[in-house]
A and B are shown apart, each in its own frame.
Chain A
Amino acid sequence: MSDVRPAPARERWRAFTAWYSRALSWLLIASVTILVVPVSMQIFSRFTALIPHYIWTEEMARFLFIWMIMIGAMVGVRESTHFEVDVWPRLGARADAALKLFSALAVLVMAIVFVWSGIEFTRFAWNRISELAELPLWLIHVAWPVAGVTWIVFLGEQAWDAAAVLFGRAAA
């Protein structure tokens, strides 16, 4: 680093998102691992008498699966692994930063929709329970506003970086 010191707020933000995305990655690993359990139980209960045939395994698997997708989609925004189609030739640092900034703003719009409509969606499920496992449904619906808020946190970081390159306050 040269004598240009990054803003302390910027550094704290980076530290927070790094910690947060590590935590999300562990949750993601946990959700993939646990997913195997209800589906295996379903198979074994059908072919062996070792465990009884639980009615809630299928529903349990689906709900965990929804959380797995949403957590992975959160991590994907920070790591920029959501697939994009690149039809541009090699761009300069500034043009590249301009596109990144635009893309971050577009995803931000979606994040706001997920927070806004997601809260309504969660409220809507507030007093309802699932058919088989009798879980409170808001526990699943709340994944949408959580994803929205998480994206806003991650996108802010990226937009900041891109803006710094675009407006010439940092080397590319």
Chain B
Amino acid sequence: MSAATALSPTDAGAILFGVFFLLLFLRVPVAFALGLACLPILLIEPHLTAMSLVQETFNAYNSFILLAVPFYLLAANLMNVGGITDRLVRLSRALVGHFPGALAQVNVVLSIFFAGISGSSTADAASQGKIFIEAQRKEGYDDSFNAAITAVSAVLAVIVPPSILMIVWGGVLTVSIGGLFLAGVIPGLAIGLVQMATVHVYAKARGYPTYPRATLVEGIKAFGVSVPALLTPVIIIGGKIFGWFTPTEAACIAVLYAIALALFVYREMTARGLHDALLDTGRFAAVTLFCVGTASAFGWLLAYYQIPKAIIESVMVWEMGPIGTGFFIAAAFLVVGCFLDAIPAIIIVGTILEPLAKAVGMHPIHFAMIGIVSLAFGLVTPPYGLCLLISCSIANIRVVDALKDTMIMLAPMFGVLVLVILWPDFVLILPKLISPEFLK
């Protein structure tokens, strides 16, 4: 890297970001905009050729860790076609059906259970959108509320372990994935709780319906049929913590377990359902991961010109303390999350900010959780909030129409993010207690 480059870092940065945002604005798909932004530089710079783009995308896909992404999506899709989700709906209803805004509470609680099995928010938004949005509409809930609550509760899937974002973060920035899994538990549950409180306030204000309290017998029955499904997070997270499996293997176990449940325990999977689950997984995983390849090429060029170092040096001048840095990191990820999918954002921005976090002595897991929670919020912020896009398309409303309710629901969730920033032990306490070796 010390060799002289034809372009100055400033020019290279201007070309990369300029072309990228211009193409994005002209509605070129994100993955292609990232790749095309690299092209002028690859052609200008004498040491580089267009083949670097092919080589860098190849290097990005040639990764055993990323393989966890299709597996977690497949596990989620199999849960839906195999009757596992239905059992968890029944359990959630027995638990919170008697709260005001019953169905919306069930929506949130199911997301917490779902998050413990799947690691994909988009899979959560797609499947729960289909279950809840129409049902809530029939019970008189407003459409903007339905789309918003489905989208914001879906973000739990990447905060509560297991999580695709944690696996990618751990893989790209070399942080213990087991440690990240444990760190996500408390913030994830806290966000779930504030969402339930938000639903409560909405339900009281707008008179949303309540179900009769489930009898103890029904509660026990609902729990009984859900036990096999509820064991999934125990197997995945336990297996990771005790070092039985790698993250990718744990995701594969989730798939095998979901298949076993669907075939032998709940026996609801049809050939059609299986076909759709597989095709859906392939389509979605590939489109998501393709973008990881071009994002990696983009990030590689940024590093080639040492642009991250230049950015960090200019930020260091402000001399922010750990807390100021925490807020800065959150703000950076929140802004980037509005325009970029979370995985490419980790690859590009996570690597840029890492030295900044290190410089103020922030623990790598603490830094990761600030980033992951902020990026999770980015899943519901327009213009590029995939979960909100999905839930609005299922509800058949425009994103702008759901925006106000989404922002209202996000406000208390920001409270949890602030807590994560101000109080490192909020995320670090579980890893400290359960397996301190992850913190080294």
Q: A87, B383: Cβ atoms under 8 Å?
A: yes
Q: A32, B293: Cβ atoms under 8 Å?
A: no
4 more contacts with CB within 8 A, not counting A61-B67, A66-B62, are A32-B70, A62-B64, A69-B286, A84-B29
Q: Which of A35, A42, A116 has the most C-beta atoms of chain B within 10 angstroms of its own C-beta? A: A35
20 contacts across the A-B interface (CB closer than 8 A): A32-B74, A32-B282, A39-B252, A43-B252, A47-B244, A58-B64, A61-B64, A65-B66, A69-B290, A71-B282, A72-B283, A75-B286, A82-B287, A83-B386, A85-B30, A106-B26, A107-B28, A117-B50, A117-B54, A140-B58
How far apart are the CA atoms of A79 and B58 in the complex, in Å?
A: 23
Closest to A89 in B: B400
Taking CB atoms, residues of chain B closer than 8 Å to A2 are: none
Q: B36, A109: Cβ atoms under 8 Å?
A: yes
Binding site for B on A (CB under 8 A): 25, 28-29, 31-33, 35-36, 39-40, 42-43, 47, 58, 61-62, 65-66, 68-73, 75-76, 79, 81-88, 99-100, 102-103, 106-107, 109-110, 113-114, 116-118, 120-121, 140-141, 144
How far apart are the CA atoms of A118 and B55 in the complex, in Å?
A: 9
Taking CB atoms, residues of chain B closer than 8 Å to A102 are: 26-28
Residue B327 CB within 8 A of the other chain: no
> Given A43-B253, A109-B36, A110-B35: A69 and B289 within 8 A (CB)?
yes
- How many residues of chain B get a CB closer than 8 Å to chain A's CBs? 57
> Given A87-B25, A113-B53: A75 and B62 within 8 A (CB)?
no
Stretch among B132-140, B216-224, B273-281, B318-326 lining the A interface: B273-281
Q: A43, B245: Cβ atoms under 8 Å?
A: yes
Closest to B400 in A: A89
Taking CB atoms, residues of chain B closer than 8 Å to A107 are: 28-29, 32
How far apart are the CA atoms of A25 and B278 in the complex, in Å?
A: 10
Q: Provide the B46-58 mask, 1 if CB < 8 A to any CB of A, else 0.
A: 0001110111011
Q: A42, B50: Cβ atoms under 8 Å?
A: no
Main secondary structure on A side of the interface with B: helix
Main secondary structure on B side of the interface with A: helix
Top 10 nearest A-B pairs (CB, nearest first) are A72-B286, A82-B29, A28-B282, A73-B290, A39-B252, A117-B51, A106-B28, A76-B287, A32-B282, A85-B384
Taking CB atoms, residues of chain A closer than 8 Å to B36 are: 106, 109-110
Residue B373 CB within 8 A of the other chain: no
How far apart are the CA atoms of A86 and B24 in the complex, in Å?
A: 8
Closest to B21 in A: A85
Closest to B250 in A: A43
Taking CB atoms, residues of chain B closer than 8 Å to A106 are: 23, 26, 28, 32-33, 36
Q: B30, A31: Cβ atoms under 8 Å?
A: no
Taking CB atoms, residues of chain B closer than 8 Å to A68 are: 70, 282, 285-286
How far apart are the CA atoms of A106 and B294 in the complex, in Å?
A: 14
How far apart are the CA atoms of A61 and B249 in the complex, in Å?
A: 11
Taking CB atoms, residues of chain B closer than 8 Å to A81 are: 283, 287
CB within 8 Å: A-B pair count: 167
Q: B30, A84: Cβ atoms under 8 Å?
A: yes
> Given A73-B287, A75-B286: A39 and B27 within 8 A (CB)?
no
Taking CB atoms, residues of chain A closer than 8 Å to B285 are: 32, 68-69, 72
Taking CB atoms, residues of chain B closer than 8 Å to A120 are: 51
* Nearest Cβ on chain A to B254's Cβ, whole angstroms: 11
> Given A82-B32, A110-B35: A69 and B27 within 8 A (CB)?
no
* Nearest Cβ on chain A to B182's Cβ, whole angstroms: 22
Q: B290, A82: Cβ atoms under 8 Å?
A: yes
Taking CB atoms, residues of chain B closer than 8 Å to A65 are: 61, 66-67, 70
Chain B stretch 1-58: residues in CB contact (< 8 A) with chain A: 23-33, 35-36, 39, 49-51, 53-55, 57-58
Q: B51, A39: Cβ atoms under 8 Å?
A: no
Q: B249, A42: Cβ atoms under 8 Å?
A: yes
How far apart are the CA atoms of A113 and B25 in the complex, in Å?
A: 22
Q: B39, A113: Cβ atoms under 8 Å?
A: yes
Taking CB atoms, residues of chain B closer than 8 Å to A140 are: 58
Q: B287, A36: Cβ atoms under 8 Å?
A: no
* Nearest Cβ on chain A to B82's Cβ, whole angstroms: 15
Taking CB atoms, residues of chain B closer than 8 Å to A114 are: 54
> Given A32-B74, A39-B67, A120-B51: A72 and B282 within 8 A (CB)?
yes
* Nearest Cβ on chain A to B22's Cβ, whole angstroms: 10
Taking CB atoms, residues of chain A closer than 8 Å to B25 are: 85, 87
Taking CB atoms, residues of chain A closer than 8 Å to B67 are: 35, 39, 61-62, 65
Taking CB atoms, residues of chain A closer than 8 Å to B252 are: 36, 39-40, 43
* Nearest Cβ on chain B to A42's Cβ, whole angstroms: 7
Residue B339 CB within 8 A of the other chain: yes
Residue B92 CB within 8 A of the other chain: no
